[in-house]
Amino acid sequence: MKTGIANLPLHYGRAPAWLFSRMRELARQITIVIVTEFGQKEMLRRLSDPFWFQAFGCILGFDWHSSGLTTTVCGALKEGIKGLEKDLGLFVAGGKGRVSRQTPLEIQELAQRYPISVNPRNLIYSSRMAAKVDSAALQDGYQLYHHCFIFTREGSWAVIQQGMNEVTRYARRYHWLSEDLKSFVCEPHSAICCNQRGRALNMVAQESEETRLLATVLSREKPDKVISEVKRLKELNLPSSHRPFVQDLRIDFFEKNLIKIYEKQPTDFEELLAVKGVGPKTIRALALISELIYGTNLSFRDPVKYSFAHGGKDGYPYPVDRQGYDKSIQIIQRAISEAKIGRREKIEALKRLKNIFTID
């Protein structure tokens, strides 16, 4: 289930070493408390909530509104729980840029190093499909550059990934959660929150069901037949309201992909999407053939709904209070240490704090 999306201005800065070391330590302590008190699945639920994740980043003191929050918080979490994976039963793979492409290998290595009760291939497939859906099946103008996969030894998982749009200078963050996920390719989005709504080719919308079916049928046809339909598309006058145009389609490249797909003979749209090499242009071409020539319904609906603890690195809402930050880490560390020997007074006090700040 996709639990949310957040739109954030692009940010190319880095967290200074003095701040990142504190972020890593505080992320570690907060994770220990949540996993100990509520379990690994609750930690996944919270990370998959775009509002909780944003608040988490603010607590850690990074830029409260920028794209850098996503990559830095995920990095702090990954580094923070290093060495505790066995005890926590929680694992983090992936990251930004080239590191994101190492996610399958990292999942495999973690599964070999620690005992997990599921086949790592299933986790790798889930990681890849979440990325494929947000890059190829949902074409909203954002190019993915960050992918973080968090999972438990029982096989539950969450994904936090982010894409950039260099034209608008905004980034869009996508959150996924395995809990209650019924389909990767039909309405996996839920509570998608941001302050901008765009126009997208949405092949995972309910109203695109017929197009998904026909796109799969077309992918099993001999490539020559499909290519002839693409050539017909290039002669059509497409409505100006449609975002995905076919003028930039390279037929030779598309034909090579079609041959590869034809050899696989996918039985449904998810299998089609999972074929290696199938990307946005291939999906776009099959979708347009289905809609414009065969009259199937195709959604262009962007699946979006409209919707300060230690300060921030850039001084907003105020500069990071280093002394207060260190005090917060010490308080949580002490509470965890005492809870381990049966003295839970400080942990209970932390839990009671939420009642003070709860707004009805």
Average of pLDDT values for 233-241?
53
Between 162 and 11, the more confident residue is: 162
Residue 41 is encoded by which pair of tokens? 């699945």
Q: What is the DSSP letter of 207?
A: G
List CB contacts of 234: < 8 A, sequence separation 6 or more.
246, 247, 249
pLDDT at position 204: 87
The one-letter code for the residue type at 347 is: I
Q: What was the pLDDT predicted at 187?
A: 81
Query: Of 120 and 60, which is predicted with more confidence?
Result: 120
Lowest mean pLDDT segment, chosen from 138-142, 169-173, 277-281, 315-319: 315-319
Domain boundaries, given as residue ranges, for the chain:
2-198, 206-301
Global pTM value: 0.78
Position 5 pLDDT exceeds 90? no
- pLDDT at position 241, please? 45
Lowest-pLDDT range of 51-55, 248-252, 270-274, 340-344: 340-344
Give the chain's mean pLDDT. 80
* Separation CA 225–CA 355 (nearest Å): 65
Q: Which of 49-53, 106-110, 232-236, 326-330 has the lowest mean pLDDT?
A: 232-236
Burial class of residue 274, CB neighbours in 10 A (0-12, 13-18, 19+): middle
pLDDT (0 to 100) of residue 68: 80
* Alpha carbons 231 and 192: distance in angstroms, whole number: 37
The span from the CA of 225 to the CA of 218, in Å, is 9
Contact 98, 115 (CB under 8 A): no
What proportion of the chain, given as a percentage, has pLDDT over 90? 41
For residue 360, the model assigns a pLDDT of 38
pLDDT at 340: 65
- pLDDT digits 0-9 by tens, 289-300: 887 767 788 777
Element (H, E) at 52: helix 50-60
Q: What pLDDT digit, counting tens, does each position of 58-107 carry?
A: 788 766 566 688 899 999 999 999 999 999 999 999 999 999 999 999 99
Cis omega (within 30 of 0) on the bond before 317? yes
For residue 178, the tally of other CB atoms under 10 A from its CB is 19
Is the confidence at residue 344, as pLDDT, over 80? Answer: no
Question: Between residues 64 and 309, which one has the greater pLDDT?
Answer: 64
For residue 356, what pLDDT band results from cuts at 50, 70 and 90? very low
